[in-house]
Amino acid sequence: MKCLLILFLVIATEAANETRACNDGKIRGVNAGGWLLLEPWITPRFFEDFDANDGNQQRIVDEYTVAQYVDPAEYREKMKTHWATFMSLADFQRVAEAGVSHVRLPVAYWYWDVEAGEPFPAPNMDENDEYSPLYYIKQALSWAAQTGIKVEIDVHSGPGSQNPFDNSGRRRDVESDIHWCCDGSDSRHNIERSIAVVGKIASMLKTWLDSGIITWESLYGICVLNEPFAIPGLRDDIWIALRDDYYPKAYEAIREHLDDRVFVNYQGAFRAGSEFDDYFNDFSSVSVDKHIYQSFGFDWCGVATLPSEEMYQVHYDVSCGYRDDIINRNKPTFTGEFSLAVTECQKYLVDGYHVPYHPPHCEFEEICGFYDAGWDTFPQEQKDFYAKYFLAQTEGFEYGDNGAGWFFWTMKTEDQCAPEWDFIFLLDNGIIPADLCNKELVC
């Protein structure tokens, strides 16, 4: 049986060479957001149903509180059903047909490490059990092998929360309430837990590689922590802990199991790309991940109030202007998250699950009224803007030797609830080119 499985993977890998990979070394990828780590704005109905069953108390707002307040047996069944149905092989096939080369797969630390006081079930290390998240990680890597895609395992949540957002697994309503590190306790405990987690992930992947369950060709690398809240001037202490402590030790933990065929990826942590230039230069196969959105905050909401043509041009100029930054980097640097959104109007997007949802930095009712009215209400000129906006952003991200490419956030949303963020929806509607290898240059 094992021989047959290895033969199948070899055939799948050969078949992958017949897909539309562009063969230019650039990453053209999508995120599998909202699948193995919940985010309310990606799956709003999932959270609204839980909230309704909980008496509309609005206390179930992230995956931590799902585990905390939902009956354990129901939690187990709901998660298994979600994992089994939200993503499919057909989704991987659809994006691969267009030339997508990579999928970034967000995962949670508690799949490998749960301590007393945390509400999550004990880690289930049986990758053959459909109630274990490892089953779906393995499944994603199998789908990748079948479709010629490479996967990056993205540690999207850190113990104690590395940022205050619900995408860390636990939303914090006060930005200073971060306990991954640097909380005044002088404790490195959650940093050590995170190092152990990336080591366990690397060990698991090496076991699967050695047994032929997955292939080297379907594995890009491991992002060691998503969006640590190292805001310049506000949380430089987190940046120092990342740069001088966690990032080097996470590299060592991965290299104990996986050689430089696998990239170690450092997320940009809200810092300038130049801050990585003088560090980690003795490490092999290291890349940097910048998240670049033109939608969050008062400034971008203000841009959305401009006359249409003027607003469009601002976004084109900023997108193309990224080339001036990426050309100076000395490490492969990709944009691990971006979208076509130009506001934060999408329900539950900023500050998470609140009913009713009010975008905290965009209080112009006519703006959110326009963007929330639905795709079919947009004039053609708005849809044409989105198409050129995608081209401009991706052209910037792919520019030069170290413009390593991009991952769109995200592959799909529940019931196509967020069109500006839904890659498959945009692809099916002709906004994203059907052939990413031969897209028009607009910068």
Q: What are 84-104's pLDDT values in tens digits?
A: 999 999 999 999 999 999 999
- Phi/psi zone of residue 260: left (φ > 0), alpha (ψ -120 to 50 degrees), beta? alpha
Using only C-alpha atoms, the chain has a radius of gyration, in whole angstroms, of 21
* Residue 311 structure tokens: 């607003």
Residue type, 204: M
Contacts 24+ apart (CB under 8 A), 384-389: 385/308, 385/312, 385/315, 386/340, 386/420, 386/426, 386/431, 387/430, 387/431, 387/432, 388/312, 388/316, 388/442, 389/312, 389/315, 389/316, 389/319, 389/340
pLDDT for 170 equals 97
Residue type, 435: D
pLDDT for 20 equals 53
Which residues on neighbouring strands pair with residue 150, listed in sequence order? 102
Confidence check: pLDDT of 7 > 60: no
- Give the burial class of 123: count Cβ atoms within 10 A of its Cβ; 0-12 exposed, 13-18 middle, 19 or more buried: middle
- Is the Cα dihedral 97, 141, 410, 46 positive or negative? positive
Please state, in angstroms and rounded to a whole number, the distance separating the CA atoms of residues 287 and 305. 37
Please state, in angstroms and rounded to a whole number, the distance separating the CA atoms of residues 172 and 158. 13
pLDDT for 4 equals 38
Confidence check: pLDDT of 432 > 70: yes
Give, in degrees to the nearest 5, the angle at Cα 416 between 414 and 421: 95
Tell which residue, 244, 150, 130, 262, has the closest CA to residue 204: 262
Rounded to two decimals, what is the model's pTM? 0.95
Please state, in angstroms and rounded to a whole number, the distance separating the CA atoms of residues 221 and 203. 13
Q: Which residue has the tokens 């990336």?
A: 198
3-state secondary structure the chain: CHHHHHHHHHHHHHHHCCCCCCCCCCEEEEECCCCCCCCCCCCHHHHHHHHHHCCCCCCCCCHHHHHHHCCHHHHHHHHHHHHHHHCCHHHHHHHHHCCCCEEEEEECHHHCCCCCCCCCCCCCCCCCCCCCHHHHHHHHHHHHHHHCCEEEEEECCCCCCCCCCHHHCCCCCCCCCCCCCCCCCCCCHHHHHHHHHHHHHHHHHHHHHHCCCCCHHHEEEEECCCCCCCCCCCCHHHHHHHHHHHHHHHHHHHHCCCCCCCEEEEECCCCCHHHHCCCCCCCCCEEEEEECCCCCCHHHHHHHCCCHHHHHHHHHHHHHHCHHHHCCCCCCEEEEECCCCCCCCCCCCCCCCCCCCCCCCCCCHHHHHHHCCCHHHCCHHHHHHHHHHHHHHHHHHCCCCCEEEEEECCCCCHHHCCHHHCHHHHHHCCCCCCCHHHCCCCC
Residues 6+ apart with CB under 8 A from 302: none
pLDDT for 8 equals 39
pLDDT for 415 equals 97
pLDDT for 101 equals 97
Residue 18: other Cβ atoms inside 10 A: 8
Give, in degrees to the nearest 5, the angle at Cα 369 between 365 and 373: 170
Quick one: pLDDT band at residue 176, thresholds 50, 70, 90? Answer: confident
The more confidently predicted of residues 3 and 192 is 192
pLDDT for 173 equals 87
* Residue 443 structure tokens: 């910068």
pLDDT for 211 equals 97
pLDDT for 9 equals 41
Q: What are 234-265's pLDDT values in tens digits?
A: 999 999 999 999 999 999 999 999 999 999 99
Q: What are 305-323's pLDDT values in tens digits?
A: 999 999 999 999 999 999 9
Please state, in angstroms and rounded to a whole number, the distance separating the CA atoms of residues 171 and 164. 5
Q: What are 375-399's pLDDT values in tens digits?
A: 999 999 999 999 999 999 999 999 9
Please state, in angstroms and rounded to a whole number, the distance separating the CA atoms of residues 231 and 312. 28
The more confidently predicted of residues 99 and 5 is 99
* Residue 101 structure tokens: 């080369």
Q: What are 353-380's pLDDT values in tens digits?
A: 999 999 999 988 899 999 999 999 999 9
Q: Taking residues 225-240, what's their average pLDDT?
A: 97
Q: What are 36-92's pLDDT values in tens digits?
A: 999 999 999 999 999 999 999 999 999 999 999 999 999 999 999 999 999 999 999
pLDDT for 175 equals 85
